[in-house]
Structure 1
Amino acid sequence: MTILRRGDVGAEVRELQRLLRLRGASLDLTAEYGDSTLAAVRSAQERYGLVVDGVAGPKTLFALQVNGKQPTHLGMADLRRAADELAVPLAAVRAVNEVESRGTGFLADGRPVILFERHIMYRQLRGARLDADGLARKFPNVVNPLRGGYVGGTGEHTRLAAAWRLDSACALASASWGQFQVMGYHWELLGFASVEDFADAMRLNEAAQLDAFVRFILADPALHRALKAGQWGTFARLYNGPAYKENLYDVKLARAFARYQLEEKEAA
């Protein structure tokens, strides 16, 4: 559990300062928790109705991440908007939401659902020309040429935090985020200014997570065509990878689509 206070230094303090700047504070990214950071934390705590103690614990960090707003769940209006943007039947979006999503985009503590991929972290570090092999020897649970090490739930945030200390941008890019588990390294493809902006959006609400999914579909013409045509085998292969048949994703999608189509026809 991260708790930052006056006198602390390091990458986590720099991330706190970045969040404070994102919420309007005038701060330099010094990575030192000095007087100006203390004042900014106290100001944020007062604004968000928290205990004003100048200590950046889980509640303060979460409030900064979501700008004081509790994450909201998807509604039918969100799904209809996504269907319109994709120019596909509403039943198709409902089917994907049922089969491909994790059911909820947030953990019980309000943080977004993530899955940290250590093999992607290894790849991202190599792409950044950092010592991926050396870091893999020291931190094999978060940097590794082989996939694995998953613990699920809040434990994935612990793994992300460990990777974040090695390189923040590579770490954020190496996790899949939210209800539709969109990978962070797609941030530029999806039109975000940075991987940090992408992660901030994924912390907002499930509608923002759905928007990232829509952007992802629109950025891949073959995936978009498959969704439009109801070619569930092709869609599942492109979205889930070659192992999609093991989980019967194509069968589940086809069945859900047919069920929602019938439901909508009967309701018309």
Structure 2
Amino acid sequence: MKKDIGFLIDMDGVIYRGGELIPGAKEFITKLLREDFPFLFLTNNSQRNCRDVVAKLSRMGIEVGEKHIFTCAIATARYLASQKPNGTAYVIGEGGLLTALHQNGYSIVDDEPDYVVIGEGRTIMLESVDKAINMVMRGSKLIATNLDPYCPSSNDSIRSGCGAFVSMIELATGKKAFSAGKPSPVMMRIAKAELETRSANTIMIGDTMETDILGGVQMGFKTVLTLTGSTKKEDLKAFAYRPDHIIQSINDLINPEIFDSIIDREMVLSHG
């Protein structure tokens, strides 16, 4: 029987770092599958499609289905389809974003698009940015899959993120991008609907206060911050909001006492 408590789980910094699983991640996901808890991996990476993400997790030893993956590209495509069905888009991004737009009835064009959509990309050219700037100046709406200024890299460094590219277009055009990715309520609301849970019974597990935790707090979800990623415990004093629960790593959720305290309606404020 499907549980009425569901999990939204960030990936990089929670489940893995670079190409390495964080200890306890496989056991935690196995527990959710075995006990029939609905869950989604929620990622602000628009590069890969769901099949690619499933394959990456499989190589790490976690076996899930495409139904367990929800990306900011999917959230963006569904949002655009709800605003202007069968619209057109000029895209700076990669396969995951292009696939999501096509699957939601969008055509990719090089002239007079309804929307200019910006996602992550490793080979973004200044020529494409200039083209996007001129389209926005002529009336196309500017959309970002997310506003993360940087992304973690596998060699423990960072690389420029979607937000960095979008800022160039915003500065040049004077237009602000609309983003459907975390912490936007757009992505959080669509993901919750996929789980078929109530807000109070939806648990967001993430490593970043500005996206995962903020998005969960704004939606009335229960929030769990893990300290294996972007946000450290000493950083919490800088925020006007805080998670319901703090754990050292996903491995803590293998502990039945901690897990039970999280899914209980009377949430324990903090462990760790």
Bin for the TM-score computed over the shorter chain = under 0.3
TM superposition score normalised by structure 1: 0.24
Look at both structures and tell me which one has the larger radius of gyration over its CA atoms. Answer: 1
| Structure with greater helix percent | 1
TM-score of the superposition, structure 2-length normalised?
0.24
Greater length-normalized contact order (CA 8 Å, ≥ 6 residues apart): 2
Higher fraction of strand: 2
